[in-house]
A and B are shown apart, each in its own frame.
Chain A
Amino acid sequence: MSGETNSYEIVRRDPRAEWIARNRLHPLHGTISVGEEAEVRGPSGLIRKNPHKVGFIGPNGIKRIDRLKGNAAAAATGRRSGGAAQEVQLPLHKVENPDFSIFVVPDMVGGRLTSQDKDILGQAHKLARSDDGESAVQGVVVAVVFGELKDDSLDTAGVDRLIHLDGEEYQGYCPEQQLTALVHLDATYNPQNWLFPDSVHGGTDLGSRLAARLGERPAVQAWQVDKKTTVCRGASGSTDISRPTPRILLLAEECADPIDETRHEVQPIELGSVPRVISRMQDMGQVSVDPNAIPLAEAEFILSAGNGIHNWDQFHEAAEALGATEGASRVAVDDGFMPRFRQVGATGTWVTARVYIAVGISGAIQHMQGIGQCDKVIAINTDAGCDMVKRAALSAIGDSEEILAELLKLAREHKAGQSEGGDQNAA
Chain B
Amino acid sequence: MPLNIVSLVSVGRHPQSGRERRAEQDGRAVELGMNLEASQSASMTVLHAGRSVEPVLRNYAGMGLPSLEVLELSEQDDAVPSLAQYLKASDADIVLTGVRAESGESSGMVPYLLAEELGWPLVPRIADIVSINNGVAEILLALPRGQRRSLSVPLPFVASVDNAAPAPRQSAYGPGMRASIDASQVTAVTDSAREQWQEAPAKPRPKRLKVVKAKTAADRFKAATAKPQGKAGKVMKNESAQEQAQEIFNLLLEEKVIK
Interface residues, chain A, CB within 8 Å of chain B? 68, 71, 74-75, 110, 173, 175-176, 200-201, 204-205, 208-209, 211-213, 217-218, 220-221, 223, 233-244, 254, 257, 260, 280-289, 293-295, 298-301, 322-324, 354-355, 357, 376, 378, 380, 384, 389-399, 402-403, 405-407, 409-411, 414
Minimum CB–CB distance from A104 to chain B (whole Å) comes to 20
Write the B228-255 contact mask toward A (1 if CB under 8 angstroms, else 0): 0110111111010110111111011101
**Pair A240/B151 contact, Cβ less than 8 Å:** no
Tell me, in angstroms, the Cα distance from A230 to B92 when the chains sit together. Answer: 37
B22 in the interface, Cβ–Cβ < 8 Å? no
Which stretch (B28-36, B52-60, B141-149, B181-189) binds chain A? Answer: B141-149
Tell me, in angstroms, the Cα distance from A243 to B142 when the chains sit together. Answer: 32
Total number of residue pairs linking A and B with CB closer than 8 Å: 225
**Pair B146/A295 contact, Cβ less than 8 Å:** yes
In the complex, residue of chain A having the shortest beta-carbon distance to the beta carbon of B123: A281
Which residue of B18, B196, B230 contacts A244 across the interface (Cβ within 8 Å)? B196
Q: Told that A205-B125, A280-B121 touch, could you supply 5 new A-B pairs with CB distance under 8 A? A: A234-B106, A242-B198, A257-B208, A281-B123, A300-B146
Known: A239-B202, A287-B140. A378 touches B108 (CB 8 A): no
Known: A200-B144, A286-B143, A354-B257. A378 touches B112 (CB 8 A): no
Chain A residues with CB under 8 Å of B147's CB are: 286-287, 289, 300
18 A-B contact pairs sorted by A residue (CB < 8 Å): A173-B141, A208-B109, A218-B107, A236-B13, A239-B199, A239-B201, A242-B197, A242-B200, A243-B198, A281-B153, A283-B149, A294-B145, A300-B145, A378-B248, A395-B234, A396-B244, A397-B236, A407-B249
**Pair A75/B199 contact, Cβ less than 8 Å:** no
In the complex, residue of chain B having the shortest beta-carbon distance to the beta carbon of A209: B112
**Pair A220/B107 contact, Cβ less than 8 Å:** yes
Tell me, in angstroms, the Cα distance from A316 to B150 when the chains sit together. Answer: 28
B64 in the interface, Cβ–Cβ < 8 Å? no
Known: A68-B218, A237-B202, A395-B233. A282 touches B257 (CB 8 A): no
**Pair A236/B235 contact, Cβ less than 8 Å:** no
Minimum CB–CB distance from A382 to chain B (whole Å) comes to 11
Tell me, in angstroms, the Cα distance from A411 to B258 when the chains sit together. Answer: 9
Chain A residues with CB under 8 Å of B123's CB are: 281
B70 in the interface, Cβ–Cβ < 8 Å? no
* Secondary structure class of chain A's binding surface, majority of residues: mixed
Place the interface of chain B in its size category. Answer: 35 or more
Minimum CB–CB distance from B204 to chain A (whole Å) comes to 10
In the complex, residue of chain B having the shortest beta-carbon distance to the beta carbon of A75: B216
**Pair A287/B148 contact, Cβ less than 8 Å:** yes
**Pair B150/A287 contact, Cβ less than 8 Å:** yes
**Pair A376/B245 contact, Cβ less than 8 Å:** no
Which residue of A240, A407, A409 contacts B203 across the interface (Cβ within 8 Å)? A240
**Pair B233/A393 contact, Cβ less than 8 Å:** yes
Minimum CB–CB distance from A27 to chain B (whole Å) comes to 43
Minimum CB–CB distance from A386 to chain B (whole Å) comes to 11
Which stretch (B39-47, B96-104, B167-175) binds chain A? Answer: B96-104
